[in-house]
Amino acid sequence: MNDSNASVRVVVAQPQIRFGEPDPLDTVKALQRLGGEVDVEQVRTASHCIALASEEDTALVVVDYALGEDVFQVLEKFRNAGPPVVVVHSEHSDRVALEMFRQGAVDCVAAARGDYQDVLPAVALEHINRWRAQKEKGVVEERIRSLERLNDAIVNEIPAALAVLNSQGQIISLNPEFSRVWNADVDVVAGKPISEVLPHDLMGEAGLAELLEKTAKGESLSAKTMRTTDEDGTQHSFDVRARLFAEDGHILLSLSDVSERENLMKRIGELQAYNTNIIQGMNSALVVTDTEGRITSGNRMAEHILGDMASTGRSIWEWFPDLEREQVVVSRTLDEGLSFRGAEVQIQLPDGRHLEIGISCAPLLKDEGISDGVVAIFQDLTEIKALQRQVLQKEKMASIGHLAAGVAHEINNPMGFIHANLFQMDEYLTDIRKLWTKVEELQEGIGTGNMERIDEVSRSLQSMSQELDHEFLLTDFGKALQESLEGSERIRHIVRDLRDFSHQDTGERVPSNINQCLDTTVNLVWSMMKHSVVLRKEYSDLPEVQGYPMQLKQVFMNLLVNAYQAIREKLGDSGDTGEIFLCTSHNGSEVRVTIRDSGVGIPQANLDRIFDPFFTTKEVGEGTGLGLSTTFNIIRRHGGTIKVHSQAGKGTTFEISLPLEDDPKLRDLPTG
């Protein structure tokens, strides 16, 4: 978090939650993502919060607006002193935020936002670092004030190494600083030329003798920097000034050691050049704006990506002609002082093309903490987005690969009996042709009126009909035909489901039937798992969700395949079966999907890592480590959440929540 290894405390004040009920804001869990350097302590009352937050190691107070009047007690306590207070709430308007800022809150985070779990840690980290910086600044300022008092005392008595000389350059008096610097006792050197006290290179090569000579003649000369070198090779720089007192012809000589200042200026110049090289050499584009959004500076990469749109003086709002100002994260940084990392937006280039960029921005603050503009860093995501789409599609195809053998078996079964039925129907058709031949002979006999022939053919037809059992033949023929039709329909459904699953989304959100997406995916995986798994469903009637149905099917595929593999790992070759439970429901604002298995479970040590890219516990070559990472990002892109609960040896439950309302800010989030 910073250079200090000391942990800090974050106090979270929330109302009591009844046993068994989930935290509606999940605030503690969000803050625990800050890592081991932050200790999160939860309290239920204002008094407890104030007592704990008053301790030295508390760096931030997070208060739930649901505490009611206790919120105002906490804000009043720490309004002018103490750690910063951030208020979290579940309201959908800005009314609460405005009220809290007026009461002294440094920030207000709405849980109604889909990215609450990402925004709250970022906001907390910003204010923790700011609080630490303020405390460290206070210590430094106190040290500076102490030094200033000491320096004032010194400056009041001896502001510099001073010597008073006569017109011939002979010493009249010295101040203690001069005596100290040049090791000269005024009682000993009084009356001697200054050249016998000061170094020869300072008098000669540096030009001090010439300066004194011109000053004695009444010339007014500006200050000069002169240098001298010690016997050990150390070089010293002095700010040298000489002034003629006209009334007595005496000269006041002042020498101030500016060696450290020169070294610092040199170091500052080196650091400025170093920072400039870093900024200009960045692979990411960087621009700095003023409080009106006008660009004040930018690096070469910004000019490369945006051309004249990154020029000094241009407005950053020109990048987003299709968006209202408040929809752009830069405006929230300017207006609210919020920082954002990795937000994805589209900017429009002068030629009309749209460019996808990932932008991070933070307020540019003055010393007093007042915003002076925005620092924005962004990257061209064109290639990254293309790669993400490729990864997502490859993950889909990899999932289909897992199902290939089962699907082939599902197709081969109906194909087998279709083939057998066709062979049987071919034989039946031969027998029917024989009967039809006799019928034609009977028709010919009837046509000639030859009763003997009619009687002979009738007996032959009856005998053949009995021999072939024509009633069974016709019944079994129809049955074989119906079975073949059903088999072909089964194959058609399998092929349709495969085609739908492997199809790429159009890139636009459409109304999506979650139950249908889940069932389509189940149809594909069922052939793989039906011998090892008992499937149980509890579906509710759901409203449609605005989303990307193919991507949602990918989510369900990943979770179902993982559930099946976990069951197989647990059962081995025992011949037993496991259970996968599917449940859908909704609460008015979101749809929920639960997928629970009775498999081997996930070790506690791995639960926090399962959504990390490339993390896998499978053998090399058996897993890419991208399935759950892709799943997490697809759900995030839909503005939803995914939670996992697992116990080793007993199984795992994934809970997915998807909002019913379409949030335009989520449309360009990555899916891989």
Distance, CA of 346 to CA of 357 (rounded, Å): 6
Q: Does the residue 141 lie in any domain?
A: yes
> Which pLDDT value is given to residue 379?
75
Query: How distant is the alpha carbon of residue 636 from its chain centre?
Result: 10
What's the average model confidence in pLDDT over 655-663?
82
Strands (E), 449-541: 510-512, 533-538
Q: pLDDT band at 82, cuts 50/70/90?
A: confident
Between strands 8-13 and 38-43, the pairing is parallel
Instruction: With a cut of 60, say whether residue 640 has pLDDT above it.
Output: yes
The answer on 637 and 517 residing in a single domain is yes
What's the average model confidence in pLDDT over 193-215?
89
| Among candidate residues 152, 176, 196, the one where a domain is terminated | 152
Q: Does the residue 272 lie in any domain?
A: no
What's the average model confidence in pLDDT over 200-215?
89
What's the average model confidence in pLDDT over 616-623?
50
The 578-586 sheet, strands edge to edge: 533-538, 578-586, 590-597, 651-659, 641-647
Q: Does the residue 266 lie in any domain?
A: no
Distance, CA of 128 to CA of 35 (rounded, Å): 13
What is the tens place of the pLDDT at every residue in 144-170? 777 767 644 543 466 688 889 998 889
Residue 612's nearest CA partner among 633, 588, 584, 590 is 633
Q: Does the residue 373 lie in any domain?
A: yes
**Across 20-29, 403-412, 569-578, least confident range:** 403-412
Task: Return the half-sphere exposure (C-beta side, CA atoms, 13 A cut-off) of residue 546.
Answer: 12
The DSSP output letter for 540 is P
85 and 105 in contact (C-beta within 8 Å)?
Answer: yes
Q: Does the residue 537 lie in any domain?
A: yes
Distance, CA of 22 to CA of 28 (rounded, Å): 12
CATH of the domain at 108: 3.40.50.2300
The answer on 227 and 341 residing in a single domain is no
What's the average model confidence in pLDDT over 129-146?
80
3-state secondary structure of 77: helix
What is the tens place of the pLDDT at every residue in 497-507? 666 555 555 56
What is the tens place of the pLDDT at every residue in 63-72? 988 888 888 9
Q: pLDDT band at 111, cuts 50/70/90?
A: confident
Instruction: With a cut of 60, say whether residue 334 has pLDDT above it.
Output: yes
421 and 484 in contact (C-beta within 8 Å)?
Answer: yes
What is the tens place of the pLDDT at every residue in 542-587? 999 988 888 888 888 889 888 988 898 888 888 889 999 999 999 8
Instruction: With a cut of 60, say whether residue 18 has pLDDT above it.
Output: no
Q: Does the residue 270 lie in any domain?
A: no
The answer on 494 and 372 residing in a single domain is no
> Which pLDDT value is given to residue 662?
61
Burial class of 296 by CB neighbour count within 10 A (0 to 12, 13 to 18, 19+): middle
Q: pLDDT band at 496, cuts 50/70/90?
A: low
Task: Return the half-sphere exposure (C-beta side, CA atoms, 13 A cut-off) of residue 452.
Answer: 0
Distance, CA of 633 to CA of 263 (rounded, Å): 51
Q: Does the residue 332 lie in any domain?
A: yes
Query: How distant is the alpha carbon of residue 231 from its chain centre?
Result: 59
> Which pLDDT value is given to residue 392?
61
Residue 617's nearest CA partner among 633, 600, 631, 630 is 600
What is the tens place of the pLDDT at every residue in 311-328? 888 887 778 777 777 777
Distance, CA of 289 to CA of 35 (rounded, Å): 32
> Which pLDDT value is given to residue 2?
47
The answer on 585 and 672 residing in a single domain is yes
Instruction: With a cut of 70, say whether residue 21 has pLDDT above it.
Output: no
Element (H, E) at 330: helix 329-336
**Across 47-56, 371-380, 413-422, 594-603, least confident range:** 413-422
The answer on 147 and 132 residing in a single domain is yes
The answer on 561 and 670 residing in a single domain is yes
Instruction: With a cut of 80, say whether residue 381 has pLDDT above it.
Output: no
What's the average model confidence in pLDDT over 594-615?
81
| Among candidate residues 228, 260, 292, the one where a domain is terminated | 260
What's the average model confidence in pLDDT over 88-104?
84
> Which pLDDT value is given to residue 443?
80
Note the helical H segments in 530-672: 549-571, 627-637
Q: Which one has a higher pLDDT value, 546 or 397? A: 546
The answer on 343 and 429 residing in a single domain is no
Between strands 161-165 and 171-174, the pairing is antiparallel
Q: Does the residue 548 lie in any domain?
A: yes
Q: pLDDT band at 3, cuts 50/70/90?
A: very low
Q: pLDDT band at 669, cuts 50/70/90?
A: very low
Instruction: With a cut of 60, say whether residue 532 has pLDDT above it.
Output: yes
Share the mean pLDDT of the chain: 79
> Which pLDDT value is given to residue 178?
87
> Which pLDDT value is given to residue 599?
92
Element (H, E) at 42: strand 38-43
Residue 349's nearest CA partner among 377, 321, 375 is 321
- What residues contact 570, with CB distance under 8 A and at least 6 apart? 578, 598, 599, 600, 649
β-bridge partners, 656:
593, 642
Instruction: With a cut of 60, say whether residue 670 has pLDDT above it.
Output: no
Q: Which one has a higher pLDDT value, 339 or 544? A: 544
Q: What's the structural domain count of the chain?
A: 5
Q: pLDDT band at 653, cuts 50/70/90?
A: very high
| Among candidate residues 210, 225, 260, the one where a domain is terminated | 260
Distance, CA of 596 to CA of 577 (rounded, Å): 15
The answer on 137 and 162 residing in a single domain is no
Tokens 């490859």 appear where?
394
Residue 128's nearest CA partner among 245, 38, 47 is 38
3-state secondary structure of 282: coil
Q: What domain range includes position 343?
A: 282-380
What is the tens place of the pLDDT at every residue in 420-475? 678 777 877 887 787 788 777 778 778 777 787 788 778 887 887 777 777 777 88
The answer on 650 and 513 residing in a single domain is yes
The answer on 126 and 17 residing in a single domain is yes
**Could you tell me what percent of the chain has a pLDDT over 70?**
83
Instruction: With a cut of 70, say whether residue 413 has pLDDT above it.
Output: no
> Which pLDDT value is given to residue 93?
76
> Which pLDDT value is given to residue 158?
61
> Which pLDDT value is given to residue 655?
94
The answer on 481 and 415 residing in a single domain is yes
Distance, CA of 189 to CA of 176 (rounded, Å): 13
What is the tens place of the pLDDT at every residue in 45-65? 888 998 888 888 888 899 988
CATH of the domain at 344: 3.30.450.20
58 and 127 in contact (C-beta within 8 Å)?
Answer: no
The answer on 484 and 358 residing in a single domain is no
What's the average model confidence in pLDDT over 227-255?
86
Instruction: With a cut of 80, say whether residue 394 has pLDDT above it.
Output: no
**Could you tell me what percent of the chain has a pLDDT over 90?**
10
> Which pLDDT value is given to residue 525?
79
What's the average model confidence in pLDDT over 78-91?
86
